[in-house]
């Protein structure tokens, strides 16, 4: 009996997303074999600058076709033979590979694909900046991207394998660009998780999305991130606005593309990554300044430099150069986050129909900090309406940092009268977020529901800052009055001393009158010293009452106090108090034992 042959199973057709994900995975697999790349912190930048050049070439092909269709001449941004199509395509298996490919890419001078000698690829791209018309000319951007970018792959053969795979990405397809945008964000997160300082450039996507949606940017507003890292806030703001623009006019879409999003980044790695991130999410010409946002004096920032919205996670815990501190003469500080807070207050638009507004990430130390930190918070609460502080739970930024963090939301509509706090709870049964069990956007759901209908509950409470400030001033004023009175007494005593000194000049030092005058001068100096001490002590007491109101580390009244979040001075005071109590108990025990022994 003849059996029918078993039908062959059809090969499963991959979706575009599956194909691109597989392609990127294969690229990373080849790169893992290269001894020049030790981790994702090395591999992602290498993959990024290669994708960046492929993306630019696909973009230029489209622009060239549009110009030719209109009968216009097209002038490429990147000249031959440095375009991706000139050296990276390997359709006939005769493309550069091995040592020749490495030499073409990284040597200052080399043999070009045309056979002539000329600049190597990276050197030629760096020189494009000399032809740029302004800082946002695409040639200037390319030059800055490659200013501190290097080829780290050692094997030209593995590099050719990676390039061949990247030729399978079609950046002229809007679908593929959209998918690559999501894949790239995942790569950034993996790089953050892999180790090292790269984590400072990445803010968890759930936090970014929550902050952008609460600020709710509108078409026509300008948005800035002065410490943009890999561009998470700028990408999310761009997506938020482009959803609105797609339903509007062409002019609105052009405004979003050209005049809305601005960023600044000082380090080469995130500058490269943010350019790619924004390009993959649809921004045609990202406006990212490659510099330190703190480089200019605060006094030089005018209304023309101000923006409607600032969204940022400024670096904290670092220190700036002394030359930078000179730009902040009123409140110089080594804490980078405090310098950025001053910059943000200065750069937010004021005196407009719609108040400038900001959402920023800050460490817990900013809330309870005193000294210069308290003075900066005083300025913030006087000039801005700090309306909301979201207290994030442990582990949100793990593994990069375990420092407790907060989200500050403020605007320039008025001075602060009251502050709403919302303590974001951990999921039930969890003690902390981790790298593998990270914060999700859905964890903000209750907070979002509360946002527009604010009532006090187990997670939310209102701090009447205006009332607390008034009470503190009232309590401090008598001490300040005493300090001023003592200061005036000391000053008048100095006048009396000077008068006696003048009198002494006309007296014979051997006479009794001269000796009496010397005693009087001594007594007056003692009185002056006492009055100065009283003035200093009373001023200190008054200041302590006043500046205490700028400790914004307010605890949730519905929960037990968290020892971990106490300010250092309170922790020290608590330890000393406990030690003193222990010593008292030990003394009582000793007395009791001595009493027993004596009887």
Is the pLDDT assigned to residue 374 strictly greater than 70? Answer: yes
Give CA torsion, residues 323, 327, 331, 335, to 10 deg: -50
Is 392 in the same domain as 255? yes
What confidence score (pLDDT) does residue 84 get? 95
Axis crossing angle, helix 40-69 with helix 156-166, rounded to the nearest 10: 50
pLDDT band at 58 (very low <50, low <70, confident <90, very high): very high
Contact 363, 402 (CB under 8 A): no
Look at residue 178 and tell me if it is in a domain.
yes
Is 520 in the same domain as 581? no
Residues of the domain holding 510: 467-550
Is 485 in the same domain as 452? no
What confidence score (pLDDT) does residue 198 get? 43
**pLDDT per residue over 71-117, tens digit each?**
898 889 999 999 999 999 887 777 899 999 999 999 999 988 888 89
Is 539 in the same domain as 580? no
pLDDT band at 513 (very low <50, low <70, confident <90, very high): confident
Residue 477 tokens read as: 């004023």
Q: What is the mean pLDDT of residues 122-131?
A: 92
pLDDT band at 378 (very low <50, low <70, confident <90, very high): very high
Is 238 in the same domain as 346? yes
Is the pLDDT assigned to residue 529 strictly greater than 90? Answer: yes
What confidence score (pLDDT) does residue 1 get? 45
What confidence score (pLDDT) does residue 196 get? 47
Query: How does 346-381 read in b/e, with b if 16+ C-beta sit within 10 Å?
Result: bbbbeeeeebbbbbbbbbbbbbbbbebbbbbbbebb
Count of the separate structural domains present in the chain:
4
- Rounded-to-integer distance, Cα 358 and Cα 345, Å: 9
Is the pLDDT assigned to residue 216 strictly greater than 80? Answer: yes
Q: Which residue has the higher pLDDT, 39 or 245?
A: 39
283: closest CA among 187, 141, 85, 169? 141
Task: Determine the longest span between alpha carbons in the chain, in angstroms.
Answer: 148
pLDDT band at 243 (very low <50, low <70, confident <90, very high): confident
Residue 123 tokens read as: 């050197």
Look at residue 573 and tell me if it is in a domain.
yes
Strands of 223-225's sheet in order across: 288-290, 261-265, 223-225, 309-312, 357-363, 405-411, 385-391, 419-423, 460-463
Q: Name residue 119's beta-bridge partners.
A: 109
Q: Is 110 helix (H, G, I), strand (E, B) or coil?
A: strand
Contact 211, 405 (CB under 8 A): no
Q: Is 278 helix (H, G, I), strand (E, B) or coil?
A: helix
| Opening angle at CA 564, ends 561 and 570, nearest 5 | 75
Domain end marker among 463, 487, 510:
463
What confidence score (pLDDT) does residue 392 get? 95
The 3-state secondary structure of 418-444 reads CEEEEECCCCCCCCCCCCCCCCCHHHH
What confidence score (pLDDT) does residue 483 get? 95
Is the pLDDT assigned to residue 8 strictly greater than 80? Answer: no
**Other residues' Cβ atoms within 10 Å of the Cβ of residue 208:** 24
Is 449 in the same domain as 491? no
Average pLDDT, the chain: 87
Look at residue 182 and tell me if it is in a domain.
yes
Straight-line distance from the first to the last Cα atom of the chain, in angstroms, rounded to the nearest whole number: 115
- Rounded-to-integer distance, Cα 589 and Cα 165, Å: 79
Is 570 in the same domain as 457? no
What confidence score (pLDDT) does residue 264 get? 96
pLDDT band at 574 (very low <50, low <70, confident <90, very high): low
Residues contacting 475, CB < 8 A, separation 6+: 545
Per DSSP bridges, beta strands 385-391 and 405-411 are antiparallel
Q: What is the mean pLDDT of residues 525-552?
A: 94
Domain end marker among 146, 171, 196:
171
184: closest CA among 283, 51, 33, 32? 51
Q: Which residue has the higher pLDDT, 67 or 435?
A: 67
408: closest CA among 207, 555, 270, 237? 207
Contact 84, 113 (CB under 8 A): no
**pLDDT per residue over 267-309, tens digit each?**
888 898 899 899 888 888 889 999 999 999 999 999 999 999 9
Is 216 in the same domain as 283? yes
| Dihedral (CA of 363, 364, 369, 375) sign | positive
Look at residue 545 and tell me if it is in a domain.
yes
Look at residue 183 and tell me if it is in a domain.
yes
Is 181 in the same domain as 126? no
Domain end marker among 463, 484, 503:
463
Is 248 in the same domain as 319? yes
- Rounded-to-integer distance, Cα 429 and Cα 575, Å: 30
Look at residue 3 and tell me if it is in a domain.
no
Contact 358, 349 (CB under 8 A): no
Point out the least confidently predicted range of 53-57, 435-439, 554-558, 591-595.
591-595
Look at residue 254 and tell me if it is in a domain.
yes
Q: Which residue has the higher pLDDT, 69 or 461?
A: 461
Is 87 in the same domain as 102? yes
Is 179 in the same domain as 275? yes
Q: Name residue 386's beta-bridge partners.
A: 410
234: closest CA among 256, 249, 251? 256
Look at residue 595 and tell me if it is in a domain.
no
pLDDT band at 46 (very low <50, low <70, confident <90, very high): very high
- Rounded-to-integer distance, Cα 87 and Cα 159, Å: 13
What confidence score (pLDDT) does residue 197 get? 45
Contact 338, 331 (CB under 8 A): yes
Contact 401, 365 (CB under 8 A): no
Q: What is the mean pLDDT of residues 136-147?
A: 87
What confidence score (pLDDT) does residue 587 get? 63
Q: What is the mean pLDDT of residues 356-383?
A: 95
What confidence score (pLDDT) does residue 12 get? 52
- Rounded-to-integer distance, Cα 119 and Cα 108, Å: 6
- Rounded-to-integer distance, Cα 486 and Cα 57, Å: 76
What confidence score (pLDDT) does residue 596 get? 58
**pLDDT per residue over 158-200, tens digit each?**
999 999 999 999 888 888 888 888 888 888 877 766 644 444 5
Is the pLDDT assigned to residue 256 strictly greater than 90? Answer: no
Task: Residue count of the chain, please give it.
Answer: 599
């Amino acid at each position: 009996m003849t059996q029918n042959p078993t039908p062959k199973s059809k090969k499963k057709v991959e979706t575009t997303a599956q194909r691109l994900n597989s392609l990127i995975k294969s690229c990373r697999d080849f790169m893992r074999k290269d001894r020049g790349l030790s981790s994702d912190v090395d591999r992602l930048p290498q993959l990024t600058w290669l994708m960046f050049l492929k993306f630019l070439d696909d973009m230029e092909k489209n622009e060239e076709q549009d110009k030719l269709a209109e009968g216009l001449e097209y002038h490429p941004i990147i000249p031959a033979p440095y375009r991706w199509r000139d050296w990276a395509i390997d359709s006939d298996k005769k493309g550069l590979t091995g040592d020749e490919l490495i030499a073409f890419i990284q040597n200052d001078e080399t043999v070009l694909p045309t056979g002539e000698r000329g600049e190597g690829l990276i050197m030629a791209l760096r020189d494009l900046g000399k032809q740029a018309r302004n800082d946002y000319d695409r040639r200037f951007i390319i030059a800055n991207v490659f200013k501190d970018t290097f080829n780290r792959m050692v094997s030209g053969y593995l590099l050719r394998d990676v390039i061949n795979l990247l030729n399978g990405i079609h950046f002229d397809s809007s679908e593929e660009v959209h998918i690559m945008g999501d894949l790239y964000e995942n790569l950034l997160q993996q790089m953050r998780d892999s180790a090292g300082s790269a984590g400072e450039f990445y803010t968890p996507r759930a936090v970014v999305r929550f902050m952008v949606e609460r600020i709710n940017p509108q078409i026509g507003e300008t948005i800035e991130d002065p410490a943009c890292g890999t561009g998470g806030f700028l990408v999310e703001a761009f997506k938020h606005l482009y959803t609105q623009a797609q339903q509007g006019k062409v002019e609105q879409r052009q405004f979003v593309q050209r005049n809305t999003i601005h960023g600044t980044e000082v380090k080469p790695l995130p500058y490269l990554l943010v350019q790619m991130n924004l390009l993959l999410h649809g921004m045609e010409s990202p406006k990212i300044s490659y510099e330190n946002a703190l480089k200019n004096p605060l006094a030089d920032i005018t209304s023309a430099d101000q923006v409607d919205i600032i969204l940022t996670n400024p670096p904290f815990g670092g220190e700036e150069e002394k030359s930078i501190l000179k730009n902040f003469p009123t409140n110089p500080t080594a804490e980078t986050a405090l310098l950025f807070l001053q910059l943000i207050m200065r750069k937010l638009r004021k005196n407009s129909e719609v108040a400038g507004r900001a959402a920023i990430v800050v460490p817990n130390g900013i809330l309870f900090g005193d000294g210069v930190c308290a003075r900066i918070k005083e300025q913030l609460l006087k000039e801005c309406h700090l309306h909301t502080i979201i207290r994030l739970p442990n582990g949100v930024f793990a593994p990069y940092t375990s420092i407790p963090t907060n989200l500050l939301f403020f605007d320039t509509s008025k001075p602060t009268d009251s502050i709403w706090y919302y303590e974001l709870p951990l999921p039930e049964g969890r003690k902390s977020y981790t790298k593998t069990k990270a914060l999700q956007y859905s964890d903000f759901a209750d907070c979002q529901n509360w946002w527009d209908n604010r009532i006090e509950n187990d997670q939310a409470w209102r701090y009447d800052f205006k009332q607390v400030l008034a009470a503190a001033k009232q309590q401090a004023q008598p001490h300040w009055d005493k300090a001023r009175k003592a200061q005036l007494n000391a000053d008048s005593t100095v006048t009396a001393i000077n008068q006696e000194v003048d009198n002494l000049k006309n007296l014979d030092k051997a006479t009794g009158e001269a000796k009496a005058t010397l005693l009087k001068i001594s007594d007056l100096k003692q009185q002056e010293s006492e009055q100065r001490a009283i003035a200093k002590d009373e001023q200190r007491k008054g200041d302590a009452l006043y500046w205490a109101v700028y400790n914004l580390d307010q605890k949730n009244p519905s929960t037990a106090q968290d020892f971990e979040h106490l300010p250092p001075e309170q922790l020290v005071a608590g330890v000393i108090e406990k030690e003193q109590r222990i010593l008292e108990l030990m003394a009582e025990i000793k007395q009791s034992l001595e009493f027993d022994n004596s009887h």
